[in-house]
Structure 1
Amino acid sequence: MAVLRPLFLLTVSCCLAASARPPRHLPPCTVVQMDVFCSNLSLRSVPTNLPHAVHMLDLSRNQVQNLSQETLAYHTGFHHLKLHSNKIHFIQPGLFKDMPDLKVLDLSRNHLNVFALSKINIGPLTAVHSLDLSNNGLYTGMSDYFLSDCPVLENLSLNSNSITKISQNTFSGSLSLTKISLHNNVILEIEDRAFDLLNHLTELDLSKNSISCITDFNLYNLTVLNLSQNSLELFQSSGSTSCYKLQSLDLSENKMSHFPLLPVDNKLQYLDISRNRLQSINVTGKPEKRALFRYLRHLDMSYNQLRSLPESFFYCMLSLEVLNVSNNCLGSFSVTNQNLLQTVKIVDLSFNSLQSLTFKENTLPLLEELFLQGNDLTTLHHQVFQRLPSIRHLQLQQNYLEICSSDQIQQDPADQDQQDPADCVSFTSVPNLQFLNLSKNNLRTLPANTFTNTPLKVLDLSLNPGLDMDQQSLSGLEHSLVHLLLRENNISSLNTDLSSLTSLRHIDLSTNQLTTLPVWNRESSIESLNLQNNNLVTLESSTVLVLERSLKTLYMGSNPLSCCSNLDFLHMVQHSAVVVPDIETVTCVHDEYSEPVNIEKVTQEMCHQAGIQNYIVAVILMALLLMVVLALLVKCCHARKHKHNRSFSA
């Protein structure tokens, strides 16, 4: 007992000492100067031991249900509050009244629809400039309890709620709004004058709703309007001659069958009417009543049902740079007036039904990119692309074009303006053309000097089965061509001289019938080579040595390679810096194995052993053969001697 007493006293003293020390708090939040980050920590309220002067608090992705002074640890000096992705269904009325510095309030992804059922205003948001109420299950009228007293609110998000109607009073308590987002609601109706009192409103997002028509658009100060993904069948502005400030209008993915009736005096720069049901463009009527598009820079009418596009439609488009009319039903396209589309840089006419394409001399002087893939082009004026002085990028795949040979090209300058289409098209002397895609055109021949005086960097001739390339077909591209694609052409041998293409870096020869590789000299600088799906059995040692100098990437799968006839190639793959991305499919045939062997598993010893074994087998066979021959000779000699002895006895 006497022995235990000191131990007991020691224990008690230790416990008393421990209780006397203040508890050691390790707050889970991260504090950086005046910003506190408490995101995703399963908190129900703010930790009580945070610094006094907190400017930004991130309490997102937690378990907060009731938002009160206690929840925020009685802090009032916030500038920025992030409370999204909680379970907030109650807000203490007047909570934000004593936060004079609160500028940004994010309450998105909560359950504020439950709070709105109480029909209690949250109180004034006297200093809030940005408010996010998205993803809260709010329906018509519920937003009023949050917006009734927001005198300086500028940016409001009500995205992804269940609002069906915008009334005259919805924003009456927030007259300073400049940007409103109502994306992904169920809006069916917008009352007259619902936005009229918002004199500062410049951006309005009503995308992904159920609005069926806009018949009297009169928001003169609006600069950005998004009405995409609605059910719009009609859009027309008021008949006012006042100047509209609208610069961007998105009407894509609606049900309009007619071109929108836009303000006559506008500053529109971006207009998207793609994915509607437009069948024609109406350019009739008095010119003074038509909308002027002098500022329009980007026009997208793709994915409609347009069958024609008259030149007169472009008369007032003095600044247009991008025209997208892809995926329509156009049978022809022409620009014959030199004053039209003088500023256009990109024209996309892909995936139409084009059979006719006409460009007069001195038209489209700044056109750089032309997309014509997926049409029915067979006959064009053979100099049609020479009339585009700035063209750099030309997509012509999936057509039916034939390339002119040198004797088919008319050299007489007097013939340059003829409009009769030829049976072929020329690509010589297109001074700025760098990218050309001619894949899938059923090309039969590629004549000599096809691209003379045309500085191509990228040339795609793929998917033209049976393409016959002249030995000099790529002449003129010696110092410019970098990428060459010849995949899926059913080529068994490549007669074209590639060794002279000193700038060539990337070649795709996949899915052909090649049994040998083209010859490259030591000046070649090939970096990427695709030889998949060919009939290559042996790679010449000289070719491997040349490629190894510069090659970085090699695709070689699905070829019937011989293991022991490609030891130089094997050494390059296993010991050089060349990357073979499809190495798992690169196999070779070895006499000692019934199945193809992966190239990584082949060793020189396997081939040497096979050679030694073959030598031994050959020696044994030779020895056996000699033994058989000797046996026959002995037998023959014995037979003769026996015969001689028999005759002597007689």
Structure 2
Amino acid sequence: MDVRLWILMLIVKQVAPFRRPAELSPCHVLQKNADCSNLNLQNIPAQLPSTIHTLDLSRNLLQNLTHDALLAYSDVHRLNLHSNRIQFIQPGFFQAMSRLQVLDLSRNSLDLYGALKTHVGRLTSVQSLDLSGNGLFGDMSDYFLQDAPALTNLSLDGNSITKISSDMFNGSQALENIDLHNNVIIDIEDGAFESLTHLSELDLSINSISCIVDFNLFQLKTLNLSKNSMTNFQTIHSDLEFELMYLDLRENKLLYFPVLPQRNKLMYLDLSRNLLRSVNCSGPLEELENNSHCVSTKHQDLSRLLYLDLSYNQLKSLPSSFFSSMQALETLNISNNCLESFILDGESPLRSLKTLDISFNSLQDLKLEENALAALEVLHLQGNFFSALDPGFFSRLPRIHSLHLQQNRLSICPPRWSPADGCVSFSSLPTLRYLYLSENSLASVPQAAFQGSPLLILDLSLNPGVNIGAQAFSGLETSLAHLSLRGNQLQTLDVDFTSFYNLKSLDLSVNRLTSLSLWRGDSSVESLNLQNNSLVTLAPDTVSSLQKALKTLYVGSNPLSCCRNAHLLTLLQQDQLSVPDIAVATCWYGKDSENVEIDVSAVRAEHCESLDTKVLLIWVIVVLALGLMVVLTVVFKLCHSRRHRFNRGIKA
């Protein structure tokens, strides 16, 4: 052996005992991202590459953050400490991290740190800070915001903050987005947000704010005040234009329409689930109650408004003049109010409206003149219990796409009708694709009732006793894709769906059908619901028609025969067919002179063999009995004939 090699081996042998194996980090490192989440760590790992940009330490057991913990990671841009147990941060801890931009401290115990009344120190370059879910109250959040000059996005949701002081954000003048939802804010001091000239989004939802007066945040674009206790919202009078585009005031206690900026860019306004009684007046609540002052809503400019939600209020009327400045409005929801009439003449400003929801009111008078809603595509009228409408009402909606008419008392006009028929015509509506007529107590669906209306979805469910003729769906052969006849107590259905090549879904559940013969050839139906009927067997030709395209079949709650449905049982066992209710689908078979119910998936050949043997034996006995009777009859006749001839011979 070479002397040099021997000396090298000796040195290695002597040095080896003093070398400690390098500790492996439990984190997953990929390029410049280190994922150390959910590892039950009590300390920040020290074996990570110093060049990492993202460090995720969320869902661990960290409690204290001290200077030495992150000295090696000064290049970190994103630090996630979400859902730990952090209760102490050494002042100046983040100051050395000059490139830190995103800091997530949510779901910790920073209220314990706040109790020390110690500032966390300068957040040099942090742009996004999440302090949500820390139990912060009083002025505790100030200790994190005092020196954050680059901060643009701040989340303080899910804390216990009761007051927004006038100097709370003095050290964070670059803020653009503040999330304060789900606190217990009662008071907002004057000037709290005015100095934040870049602020564009403010979320104050789910708090205890009772009113907003003299609203003057000109630069704000989005304001969420939903789920508070507000009785009043009032903007200062100014000739300057407000940038506000999105205003959410839903789920408050507003009695009157809010005083909105005179010059505004509002596009979205949600006033749903309040206590609005009128839209004619707005103003300070105390003045309105004393009838001393009323600002007419006619003078509020809402020319850019696209979405207005007034649902779930107490409105009894809605004059057309209220919409005079809303020429751009596309969506209007006034459902679940107390409206008794809704009338729009030909001069209606709602010519851009695409969706109108006036469902669940007490409407008795509904009138639309030509061109009143020229752009309307979706109309919700369900839950009004209409018994009559102008027969040609929907023909004055040249772009109507979807009609929701559930829970009314309407009847369908036949192809030839007169105004005296008291029905509504759904034929010759070339843009109509979706029609919902469930729970209308329909007596019948006339022949070719939808001729000229290329329906894609037709819902006629929950009209018990409705009479559906063989040609009821004539004219829908090339368009109809989804048809629901659920819950109509149908005993028979004579419609031939063979030529409905685009029909993909057919719901016949909750009826009284005893047989099914709807196709003379292959069916295109992919989903068929036959639950809760009176089907004993499914004819082999029906099964044959279905099996080519069928993907989903519901058959539960039928008195199916186990031994007379060989084709159906074979179909149910195919891998490509989904039977969601297979666990509750059962069938019956005879055993020891009794009917036994078992799961269709449990049917075996032996369940029907004994029955087949019994049936065969009975048939053999019947045949033998009949044969014996025939033989006896023949013998009797022969004997009778011979006796008769013998008697005649004696007499002669």
Q: TM-score, normalised by structure 1?
A: 0.89
1:543 is matched with which residue?
542
Tell whether 2:153 aligns with 1:155: yes
**Preserved CA contact (<8 Å) 2:522 2:548:** no
Aligned residue type for 1:503: N
Q: How far apart are 1:629 and its partner, in Å? A: 12
Counting only pairs closer than 5 Å after superposition, residues 260-299 of structure 1 correspond to structure 2 as 260-282=258-280, 290-299=299-308
Distance 2:15 2:272 in 1: 76
Offset, 1:422: 6.3
State the match for 2:34 in structure 1.
Answer: 36
Output the CA distance in 2 between the equivalents of 1:127 and 1:184: 28
Q: Which residue of 2 aligns with 1:320?
A: 329
Residue deviations 1:70-127 (CA, integer Å, cap 9, x gap)? 2225432221111121222221112222222111111111222222222221111121
Q: Using the TM superposition, name which of 203-212 and 47-56 deviates more.
A: 47-56
Aligned-residue offset at 1:24: 3.2
2:190 aligned partner, one-letter code: D
| 1:81–1:549 Cα change, 3 Å | closer
Q: State the Cα deviation string for residues 17-76 of structure 1 (Å, max 9, x = none).
A: 763333231110111222222112222222222212232211222222211122225432
Partners of 1:567 and 1:604 within 8 A in 2: no
Distance 1:545 1:453 in 2: 32
Distance change in 2, residues 1:192/1:130 (3 Å): same
- Please tell me the residue identity of whatever aligns with 1:514: L
Instruction: Measure, in 2, the Cα distance between the counterparts of 1:629 and 1:617.
Output: 18
Tell me what 1:330 maps to.
339
**1:355–1:378 Cα contact (<8 Å) kept:** no
Residues 213 and 622 of structure 1: is their aligned pair in 2 closer, same or farther, counting only changes over 3 Å? Answer: same
- Tell me which residue corresponds to 1:445: 444
Cα distance change of structure 1 residues 454 and 622 upon mapping to structure 2, 3 Å threshold: closer
What aligned pairs does 1:426-445 form with structure 2 within 5 A after superposition? Answer: 426-445=425-444
**Structure 1 residue 498: deviation in Å?**
3.0
Preserved CA contact (<8 Å) 2:500 2:524: no
Deviates more, 1:227-236 or 1:467-476: 467-476
Q: 1:155-174 residue pairs with structure 2 within 5 A? A: 155-174=153-172
Q: Report if the CA contact (8 A) 1:457-1:480 is conserved.
A: yes
Aligned partners of 2:368, 2:296: CA distance in 1, in Å?
26
What is the Cα deviation at residue 497 of structure 1? 3.6
Question: Are the counterparts in 2 of residues 66 and 90 from structure 1 also a CA contact under 8 Å?
Answer: yes
The question of whether the paired residues in 2 share the 8 Å contact of 1:531 and 1:555 is answered with yes
Shift of residue 550, structure 1, vs aligned partner? 2.0
1:242–1:595 distance in 2 versus 1, CA, 3 Å: same
Once the two structures are superposed, residues 351-379 of structure 1 have per-residue CA deviations (whole angstroms, 9 ceiling, x without a partner) of 11122221111121211111111112111
**Offset at residue 198 of structure 1 (A):** 0.7
CA distance in 1, matches of 2:280, 2:337: 16
User: Displacement of 1:604 after TM fit?
Assistant: 4.6
Q: Which position in structure 1 is the counterpart of 2:596?
A: 595
RMSD (Å), alpha carbons = 2.6
For 1:522, the equivalent position in structure 2 comes to 521
- Matched-pair contact (CA < 8 Å) for 1:436–1:459: yes
Q: Which residue of 2 aligns with 1:50?
A: 48
Partner of 1:495: 494
Post-superposition CA distance 1:104-153 (Å, at most 9, x none): 11111122222222222111112111111111221121112111111121
The equivalent residue for 1:640 is none
SS at match of 1:323: strand
Other structure's SS at 1:145 match: helix
| In 1, Cα distance between equivalents of 2:339 and 2:517 | 43
Contact 2:280 2:296 in 1 (8 A): no
Asked if 1 retains the 8 angstrom alpha-carbon contact of 2:50 and 2:72, the reply is: no
Distance 1:35 1:214 in 2: 45
2:136 touches 2:161 (CA, 8 Å); kept in 1? yes
Q: State the match for 1:23 in structure 2.
A: 21
Could you tell me which residue of structure 1 aligns to residue 649 of structure 2?
none
1:145 paired residue among 143, 146, 153: 143
Sequence identity percentage? 50
- Segments of 5+ residues of structure 2 without an aligned counterpart are 1-10, 283-293, 640-652
SS at the partner of 1:97?
coil
Q: Which amino acid letter does the alignment assign opposite residue 447 of structure 2?
A: A
* More off after superposition, 237-246 vs 572-581: 572-581
Aligned pair count reads 612
Partner of 2:7: none
Distance 2:602 2:63 in 1: 62
Quick one: distance in 2 between partners of 1:282 and 1:629? 96
8 A Cα contact 2:516 2:538, kept in partner: yes
2:97 to 99, 121, 132: 99
Which residue does 2:470 correspond to in 1?
471
Distance 1:466 1:628, change over 3 A: closer
* SS at structure 2 position matched to 1:357: strand
1:259-298 CA-to-partner distances (Å, cap 9, x unmatched) read: 1110111000111111111111116978798221111111
1:226 and 1:249 in contact (8 A); partners too: yes
Separation of aligned partners in 1, 2:219 and 2:416: 62
Measured after TM superposition, the shift of residue 594 of structure 1 is: 3.3
Distance 1:112 1:611 in 2: 78
Aligned-partner SS, 2:547: helix
State the 1:239 CA deviation. 1.1
User: Which residue, out of 251, 254, 258, partners 1:253?
Assistant: 251
Q: Tell me by how many angstroms 1:227 deviates.
A: 0.5
Cα distance in 2 for partners of 1:542, 1:181 equals: 63
Tell me, yes or no, if the aligned pair for 2:429 and 2:452 is still in contact at 8 Å: yes
Contact 1:394 1:437 (8 Å CA) reproduced: yes
Aligned to 2:364: 355
- Secondary structure of 2:256's counterpart equals coil
Amino acid paired to 2:404? Q
- In structure 2, the residue corresponding to 1:512 is in which secondary structure? coil
Q: Tell me, what secondary structure is at the counterpart of 1:595?
A: strand
For residue 394 of structure 1, what is the amino acid of its counterpart? L
Partner SS state of residue 233, structure 2: strand
1:598 Cα shift?
A: 2.4
Deviations 1:294-349 (A, max 9, x none): 11111111111111111111110121111111111111212213442111111111
CA distance in 2, matches of 1:211, 1:143: 19
How has the CA–CA distance of structure 1 residues 363 and 624 changed in structure 2, closer, same or farther, with 3 Å as cutoff?
A: closer
Change (3 A) 1:214 1:585: same
SS at match of 1:424: coil
Q: Does 527-536 or 231-240 show the bigger shift?
A: 527-536
2:351 pairs with 321, 333, 342, which one?
Answer: 342
Superposed displacement of residue 201, structure 1: 0.7
Equivalent residue for 1:127, pick from 107, 125, 128: 125
- Checking the alignment, whether the CA contact within 8 Å between 1:63 and 1:86 is kept in structure 2 is yes
| Cα distance between partner residues in 2 of 1:106 and 1:579 | 45
Q: String of CA shifts for 1:584-638, please: whole Å, max 9, x gaps.
A: 332222222532232223345543442233323554687799999999x9xxx9x
1:563 maps to which residue? 562
Task: Tell whether the 8 Å contact from 1:61 to 1:86 is kept in structure 2 after alignment.
Answer: yes
CA contact (8 A) 1:46 1:73 kept: no
1:615 aligns with 2:616: yes
For 2:251 and 2:193, locate their aligned partners in 1 and report how far apart those are by CA, in whole Å: 24
> Aligned equivalents of 1:510 and 1:205: distance in 2?
46
Change (3 A) 1:626 1:509: closer
Q: For residues 360 and 253 of structure 1, what CA distance do their matches in structure 2 show?
A: 34
Distance 1:519 1:94, change over 3 A: closer
1:295–1:629 Cα change, 3 Å: closer
